[in-house]
Amino acid sequence: MIYRFEAYALDADRYELRRGADLVAVEPQVLGVLLHLVRNRNRVVSRDDLIAGVWDGRIVSESTLSSRVCAARHAIGDDGEQQRLIRTLPRKGYRFIAVVQESNEAGKEGAEVGVDCHDTIQSAPWCPSSPRDRASILVFPFANLSADSEQDRFIDGLVDDITAALSRFRHLLVIGRRAALGCMRQTLDLKRLVAELGARYVVDGTLRKEGNRARIAVQLIDSSTMACLWASRFDGNLRNTFNSQDQITASVVGALVSKLEQVEIERIKIGPKRTLDAYTCTLRGLDNLHQWTKGGIGEALDLFQKAIEIEPEFASAYAMAAYCYVQRQSYGWITDRPREIAQCVQLAQRAAELGKDDALALAKAAHAISAVGGDVEGGASLIGRAIRLNPHLTAAWYVSGWIMLWLGKPEVAIQHLEHAIDLSPYDRLVFKIHAATAYAHFFSRRYDGAPDDAARVDPARK
C-alpha cells in the first residue's frame, strides 16, 4: 500500500518514503513512527499506542520517542512549531492531519481519505531484507574549523550531497544531518544520539581552509564502541563550489561504501552466531566470492541461493548469484555450458525485474546478461539505468567499461573504467578494473598503456 500526501509517497511494502522521484533517507524507527501515524490518522495516537506499534511494547525513554517524532516531522518538511502534518495534542498524543490518498501495488488510486476515515490496515511485514537489517549510517554535521564562517554553507551543502549520494545505495540506510540537528537540543552526547536514532555507523568530518583550498577530513565510526574504523582526507578548490563539492562527494562516497562493505562482512564473521537471514547470507556470500577461487565462488553461489530461498524477492541475491556465473566463465570453470548459461540469464532477468530501482542489482544483471548471455545491447540498457540511478556506484562504471568494449567502443570503455578507479581506488574489484582497462588500451591500440594496467592485475590486492 502507498500513502500519498502533499509531495510525498509513503510505501508500506517497500518501507520507503519518497518526495517526488527522490528517495528520502529515513531511519527505520522514524519511518515506523510515520507509518503508524499515517495508518491511524483517523484518531489520536497515544504515546503508549505508538510504543506498542513501533517498538513492540519495549521500554522506550521519553527522549527517544520525542526524537523519533521530531525526525519524522523533519523527513516530511514539518516541525514542532508549524505542526502542519503531525499535530501534538498535549497529554493525549499525536495525530496525522494531512489529506492522504491511498493506492495499491498495481497503482490503482484509492479514494481520497481525510482525517475522519475509519479504514484499518494490516502492519507491513518485516522481511529479512527489510531496512532494519541494512547498515544504518548517521551522517553527522561536519565541523568548520576555518576562521571563515562563510564556509558553513559549503560544508553543510557537502554533507547534504554525501547524504544524498549514500542514500542511492539500496543496501544502506542513511540518516541525514537534519535528523541529528532536530534532536540536538535534547541530546548533546553523540553516543546517546546514535543509539536513539538507531545508527550502526557515524560519518563525521571537519573542514579546514587555506586561501582557495579546502581540506575535508572524514572518518567512519562504529557507534557501539565509538572506535574509528576508517579515516581519510580530501582536497578541493573553493573557486568553483559546486565542482569542488561534486569531486569531494564522489571521492568520499566511493571510499566509504567500499570500506563499509568490508566492515559489514567482518561484523557478521566475528559477531555472535544467529539464524541466517537473507542479508547475512548475502554478506557471507560476498566474502566467499572475493576469494576468487573455484571453491569460494561455489560456496558463494550456494549462499546467494539460500538468501533467495529465505527472501524470494531479494533482488541483490539474484544479481550476485548471476554474477557467480560471470566469474565461473571468466576463470574457465563452467562445466555444463547450456545449463549454466540458462541459469545465469534467468537469475539476471529476475534481478532486473525485482531491482528496477536497485543500481547494484541492475549492474550485476547487466554484466551477466552481456558476458554470459551474450545480449550486449540488453546489458547496455540495464547498465545505463544503473548509472542514472546511482552515478557513484563503482561496479556500474566497471561493468559499463566492459560493455563499451564489447560494443567496439574502447575509448569510451577506458573513460568509464578510469572513472570507476577514481571513485574507489581501494575497491575489492580494483584489480579486475585494471584488467579490463588493459584490454581496453590494447583494443584502442594504446599499447604503451596496456602493460601498466596489466601489471596492476594482482589478485593479492583484492
DSSP 16-40: EEEETTEEE---HHHHHHHHHHHHT
* Residues paired with 213 in a beta bridge: 210, 237
Instruction: Identify whether the C-beta of residue 413 lies closer than 8 Å to the C-beta of residue 390.
Output: no
Alpha helices in 271-409 (DSSP H): 278-289, 294-310, 315-330, 337-354, 359-371, 376-389, 394-406
62-75 vs 28-39: helix crossing angle, rounded to 10? 80
**Cα torsion angle, 175, 176, 177, 183, sign:** negative
Instruction: Identify whether the C-beta of residue 384 lies closer than 8 Å to the C-beta of residue 404.
Output: no
416 — phi, psi (to 5°)?
-70, -40
The cell numbers describing 350, all together, are 529476475
Instruction: Report the alpha-carbon distance of residue 114 to residue 179 in Å, rounded.
Output: 28
Instruction: Identify whether the C-beta of residue 321 lies closer than 8 Å to the C-beta of residue 362.
Output: no
Burial of 337 (0-12, 13-18, 19+ CB in 10 A): exposed
Q: 3-class DSSP state for residue 358?
A: coil
Q: What pTM was estimated for this model as a whole?
A: 0.67
> Which pLDDT tens digits describe the chain residue by residue (462 residues)?
889 988 889 988 778 898 887 888 888 788 889 999 999 888 889 888 888 888 766 777 777 788 889 889 988 988 887 788 998 888 888 999 888 888 765 444 443 333 333 222 222 222 334 444 568 898 888 989 987 888 888 888 888 889 888 988 888 888 877 666 655 544 456 777 777 777 889 999 999 988 888 899 999 999 888 899 999 998 888 777 777 788 889 889 988 998 999 899 988 887 666 667 888 899 999 999 999 999 999 999 999 999 999 999 999 999 999 999 999 999 999 999 999 999 999 999 999 999 988 999 999 999 999 999 999 999 999 999 999 999 999 999 999 999 999 999 999 999 999 999 988 887 888 889 999 998 888 887 765 655 555 455 555 444
Instruction: Identify whether the C-beta of residue 94 lies closer than 8 Å to the C-beta of residue 41.
Output: no
Instruction: Identify whether the C-beta of residue 73 lies closer than 8 Å to the C-beta of residue 79.
Output: yes
Give the count of alpha carbons within 13 A of 96, CB side only.
25
Instruction: Identify whether the C-beta of residue 205 lies closer than 8 Å to the C-beta of residue 216.
Output: yes
Instruction: Identify whether the C-beta of residue 262 lies closer than 8 Å to the C-beta of residue 296.
Output: no
| Amino acid occupying residue 384 | G
Question: What single string gives the DSSP state of each residue in 268-283?
Answer: HHHS------HHHHHH
Domains of the chain: 2-107 (1.10.10.10), 131-270 (3.40.50.10610), 278-461 (1.25.40.10)
Selection from 333, 318, 313 nearest residue 282 by Cα: 318
